[in-house]
Structure 1
Amino acid sequence: MISKQVQQLINEQRISELDLLIQDQEKKWNDDLYYFDPIEAKRFYKFASKMNLDKGVKGKKLVLLKYQFEICTEILCVKRKVDNLRRFREAHINVGRKNAKSFMVALILTYLYFFKPVFGCEYIITANTQKQASLLYNTIKNFIQNSPLKQLCKIVDSQKHIYQKGQNSYLRVLAAEGGGLDSYCAACFVLDEIHELKDISVYDKLKTGQGILDEPLGITITTASNGKNDMNLEYELYCYSKKIESGEYKDDSFYYKIYEADENCNINDEKQWFKANPALGHFRKIEDIKNLALRASLLKTREASFRRYFLNQHVSLVHEQAINMMLWNKCIRKINVADLEGLFCTGGLDIGGTSDLTAYLKCFYDENEDKYILYPYIFTPKDTIEERQEVQRVPYVKWVNEGHIIALSGSYINTDELITFINGDNGKLKNIAFDRWGAYDIANKLSENFDVMPFGQGFKSLSPAIRNFENMLVSGQLIIADNPVLTWMAENVTAITDDADSIKYSKKKSKNKIDGIIAMLMAFSICYNFVNDADSPQNIAKHFNEEYSM
């Protein structure tokens, strides 16, 4: 149920009286040097209203929202009184995800290309990759193909360019990692998702190529970066915008529009959602962001991502204490592993330093309770325990004496004893996942009795494992053996999230050992995939029919 406050915020973005909105724009921008052109604004509005949406209902015409009209017309229609040329030569649009910022820019670029053409010039779309830039190109292509504009140009999809013979001008896609960018004279360029840009020289090359033009325009669009890197183009332009806003800098040619929630705001505050998401309730569903906020309030890794991608705040995606220990502790139980006899089971093996800790963890699935049961075995070399306890300030000796760590003979992990221990599970489980970079020799020996499965430690493998683990943690579908070593490791975890919102747990950045957690993720992941795969009933039945016993 949408509250009255939320419904009011949604309604504020609807354009009911175009003339009144244009009058407001005139009041805002008209002064001694500049004016807002109402004729141009109406012309743009008429043009946009004739364009077809590229997603959703086929053939449906675009209905501009208030913020879209304001941004587009402020860039296009604020002009200098002295010569009637556009005031703004550069525009920076910074807003949360899924607010149709690329769609707005596609409208501006299409409008300029066909209605304000500069003979012989380029109109360039670029991004961190050509694939990313092609998304904006496809939107423009949809506008053209579903309107009379298609009669004015030739679309060459294989080369990702559009050509107007009458103006001898190209609208084309270029990859930021490609060469030759400084050879183009771009009447308008769009640089998409600049927070991900690896080489910011593309921005400088495109800007310097516009020096001979009367009305050049460069548009950068983005969501927030982590705000920790002064060399990140997004953060550079964000700070530049803020200094113009504060009056510290003056640059009449630079336009910016930044939508962001207040720093340290309550992530469940609906007003804050709209500050960063003007399209909320139109392009992005209220229920969607409400669910994301709820999950973010429970999981620190989700909170940082939510703040950055949906509240558009500059937040680091390195998350210390990434596992919610309150939820973890609720899942802890005293477990007698013998009582788990007959349950479907998978294993995970993480070989830490040869002179440190190694973890082997079993994940059981209780079909009746629909829960996953996590049971760890932590190993360490016996001869160096006291020395490492002194250096690392960790109670290894106590944990060994209490049976929470298994001490192997020697100064290094005794692989023969480790393999013998794991082989004791022959017939009790069949699949063991292992870190492909650290355990091939051991895995080869274990392959005589088990199906060993290499498991990568990058975002691609760990992200779905972590997301599924977090979902089970929140829903209370985990039972975690009462082992203080595994709990200590859970407290140590630092997570890293990339710009695609993929996540992994980092041994390098975590404050101490997390080997048991990595083994847990591997065991849990393959167990979860077996259980939830379309063929899982057959898979589990096959294992049960082999009469596994503890």
Structure 2
Amino acid sequence: MTTTIPSTDLPVPREALLELGLTEEQIAEAEASRPLTLAFQANEQPNAYFDVERVKKALKALAQFKHTKGRWAGKPMTIAGGGLAPWQVVWVIAPVFGWVYFDEEADAVVRVVRAVWVEVPRKNGKSTVSSGIANILLLADGEMGAEVYAAAGSLDQAKRVFDDAKRMCLTSKHARSKVRALAEVISVPHTGGVFRALSKIAEVAHGLNVHGGVVDEVHVYKSRHLVDAIETGTGARAQPLIIFITTADEATEGSIYDEKHSYTRKVADRVVLDPSHYGVIWAAEDTDDPFAEETWRKANPGLGVSPSLTYIRKEANKAQTTPSYFPTFCRLHLNRRMRDTSRLIDLNQWDGTAGMTDLARLAGRRAWGGLDLSAVSDFTAWWMGVESWQAGVELEMFWRFYVPADRVDDLARQLQVPLKQWIKEGFVKATEGNVIDYSVIKADALVDCKRVDMQRISYDRMFAGQMVQELDAELKGVEMAPVAQTFLGTSPAIKEMQRLLGKSGQQDGPGRIRHGGNPVARWMASVVEVKNDGQDNLRLVKPDRQKAQARIDGISACVNGLDGYLRRPKQKKYQAHTA
């Protein structure tokens, strides 16, 4: 699943872009290069507004610098001068510098955005623009004693941004008079500012007081310690800014890239509300033809300028003739995380089937239950699908989620979701202790089953032994059935879920379920993946709970329950009525 931006959705007011000097044609060009995923909530910060003058100041400062390498050397970093593209202004610079609010603690107007995630294929100029932004933070952000850092997995990589920024300063008449550029540091004597390159945690042993940071090629980081040091070093600054720039990784779960990429998607999908985090991801989707020029343009906003069409065509030809290079081409030039799994649910379809649900109106109707009890110290889910009275709707779905109360803080921190808020709002129940109290789940399930005509409860047998026996003893006449968590065991129910969501094969249609928009189920729907065995059989991919930020228990419970629904007797049907 991907978050696609409507063509009319810009992170900057259109009138502000015109005031900044962009033409309608340039704005249209930027819209045509829109990212696949946009994490943008800055306008939702209380009292936020867009300050055109702030962006003008940033662009004026950037205009003092020129490209220093390759065929672009000497071109000023302006749209008119050819060194800056409209998409870079519209999707990166303007939203980051333009959204501000009055911070009472700082007693000043400050930036809303504090962390920026820019994920784009190679050769799209992300490092050069980041070098220019680093110089803005050092020289033109109104910060005394600004400390700015370029960080990467190796010193050579970190110095790419640092050295480029230094060359920009030395070739700028305006900046050259203000800085002292040495081999390892750029200093600004008048303000006390410094800019350094970092590549290992030992270099920050004495602590940092970070105003700005550029964290380059996040996908190669093997440890999170350096990133943590930079992020935690911003506490004394009024409006720090950390920019993460990267291409896709090799689908390594639990890495710092995986964490930041996943967090950006959560903000984009509104699973997490965080106005201070802004992110853009340009990428091809799994269903796109990797050798079509349309796909190349979708993933590369600068295609035709940087990278050149000739270069991408040459790389694509190499990928076609050298199968071992194909994954590298997809990762570096289409920004695809290469894996053998794919997203199960399109959130647009999921949101389109939210609708209204009302368990009270469904009393006595046929229902099917699903359990995913999982580990005793993590999420557990009970799902129920009840035949609906609504015209065109087959099932209304309901979830109950459980976590151990003593694990709430750890889970909230690990998963980066608003778990405490979900508990407060009643979407999750925290059971006493550091392990799940199955007696609470059983009691809730019994109450639910007595309100409807429960047909079958399906479950994953791994953790369900004792509880299933107890439910079976109390629910006379209700079938208790295990569902094998294999390709053959889960594939029919997964395909039934796709049908109910409105997707069958390649055909999309209106969904035939209503689930009420439960935010916990929505989060799980946004991350659940399936694997295909090559014979059109599917099974859910369960994340490694020691590392992953994903949980899919609610969807697993739903799939288990749908196995029973799929096998229901066809002769007994209710006539649907308009609600």
TM superposition score normalised by structure 2: 0.49
SS at match of 1:143: helix
Residue among 209, 213, 218 paired with 1:189: 213
SS at match of 1:303: helix
Residue among 41, 45, 62 paired with 2:55: 41
In the TM superposition, what is the alpha-carbon distance from 1:81 to its structure 2 partner? 5.0
Give the counterpart letter for 2:182 in structure 1: V
| Equivalent pair of 2:102/2:109 in contact (CA under 8 Å) | yes
Alpha-carbon separation, structure 1, partners of 2:23 and 2:238: 30
- The equivalences for 1:359-378 within 5 A come to none
- The equivalences for 1:117-156 within 5 A come to 117-147=142-172, 148-156=174-182
Alpha-carbon separation, structure 2, partners of 1:291 and 1:48: 33
Per-residue CA distance 1:74-101 (angstroms, 9 max, x = gap)? 1122112555210011111111011111
- The equivalences for 1:340-489 within 5 A come to none
Residue among 72, 95, 108 paired with 2:93: 72
The percent identity for this pair of structures is: 24
In the TM superposition, what is the alpha-carbon distance from 1:122 to its structure 2 partner? 1.3
Residue among 168, 180, 203 paired with 2:192: 168
Quote the residue 1:228 is aligned against.
252
Give the counterpart letter for 1:76 in structure 2: F
Quote the residue 1:18 is aligned against.
22
SS at match of 1:202: helix
Per-residue CA distance 1:237-295 (angstroms, 9 max, x = gap)? 11111111111111111111111111142111212112221111112110111122122
Quote the residue 1:275 is aligned against.
298
Give the counterpart letter for 1:18 in structure 2: L
Quote the residue 1:59 is aligned against.
74
Alpha-carbon separation, structure 1, partners of 2:142 and 2:187: 12
**Larger radius of gyration, structure 1 or 2?**
1
Residue among 330, 338, 344 paired with 1:315: 338
Q: Does 1:203 align with 2:223?
A: no
| Equivalent pair of 2:42/2:276 in contact (CA under 8 Å) | no
In the TM superposition, what is the alpha-carbon distance from 1:22 to its structure 2 partner? 8.5
In the TM superposition, what is the alpha-carbon distance from 1:30 to its structure 2 partner? 5.4
Change over 3 Å in CA distance of 1:73–1:182 after alignment to 2: farther
| Equivalent pair of 2:284/2:296 in contact (CA under 8 Å) | yes
SS at match of 1:85: strand
Give the counterpart letter for 1:59 in structure 2: G
| Equivalent pair of 1:181/1:202 in contact (CA under 8 Å) | no
Per-residue CA distance 1:286-325 (angstroms, 9 max, x = gap)? 01111221221233212111110000011159xxxxxxxx
- The equivalences for 1:261-340 within 5 A come to 261-315=284-338
Change over 3 Å in CA distance of 1:256–1:181 after alignment to 2: farther
In the TM superposition, what is the alpha-carbon distance from 1:228 to its structure 2 partner? 2.9
Change over 3 Å in CA distance of 1:204–1:29 after alignment to 2: closer
Runs of 5+ consecutive residues of structure 1 not aligned to the other structure: 1-13, 318-550
More deviation in 133-142 or 80-89?
80-89
- The equivalences for 1:107-122 within 5 A come to 107-122=132-147
TM superposition score normalised by structure 1: 0.51
Runs of 5+ consecutive residues of structure 2 not aligned to the other structure: 1-16, 32-39, 78-82, 341-579
Alpha-carbon separation, structure 2, partners of 1:306 and 1:234: 19
RMSD across aligned positions (CA): 2.8
SS at match of 1:162: strand
Change over 3 Å in CA distance of 1:227–1:28 after alignment to 2: closer
In the TM superposition, what is the alpha-carbon distance from 1:117 to its structure 2 partner? 4.1
Alpha-carbon separation, structure 2, partners of 1:226 and 1:167: 42
SS at match of 1:45: helix
Which structure has more relative contact order (CA 8 Å, sep 6+)? It is 2
Change over 3 Å in CA distance of 1:309–1:272 after alignment to 2: same
SS at match of 2:177: helix
Quote the residue 1:259 is aligned against.
282
SS at match of 1:84: strand
Per-residue CA distance 1:419-451 (angstroms, 9 max, x = gap)? xxxxxxxxxxxxxxxxxxxxxxxxxxxxxxxxx
Alpha-carbon separation, structure 2, partners of 1:29 and 1:186: 21
SS at match of 1:18: coil
Per-residue CA distance 1:495-528 (angstroms, 9 max, x = gap)? xxxxxxxxxxxxxxxxxxxxxxxxxxxxxxxxxx
Per-residue CA distance 1:358-403 (angstroms, 9 max, x = gap)? xxxxxxxxxxxxxxxxxxxxxxxxxxxxxxxxxxxxxxxxxxxxxx
Give the counterpart letter for 1:65 in structure 2: A
SS at match of 1:186: coil
In the TM superposition, what is the alpha-carbon distance from 1:58 to its structure 2 partner? 4.5
Give the counterpart letter for 2:57 in structure 1: R
Per-residue CA distance 1:127-173 (angstroms, 9 max, x = gap)? 1111111111121112111112111111111xx10111111121111
Quote the residue 2:268 is aligned against.
245
Change over 3 Å in CA distance of 1:53–1:198 after alignment to 2: same
| Equivalent pair of 1:188/1:216 in contact (CA under 8 Å) | yes
- The equivalences for 1:205-220 within 5 A come to 205-220=229-244
| Equivalent pair of 2:41/2:275 in contact (CA under 8 Å) | no
Alpha-carbon separation, structure 1, partners of 2:253 and 2:208: 29
Alpha-carbon separation, structure 2, partners of 1:22 and 1:269: 25
The structure with the greater share of residues assigned to helix is 1
Alpha-carbon separation, structure 2, partners of 1:99 and 1:60: 16
Give the counterpart letter for 2:168 in structure 1: F
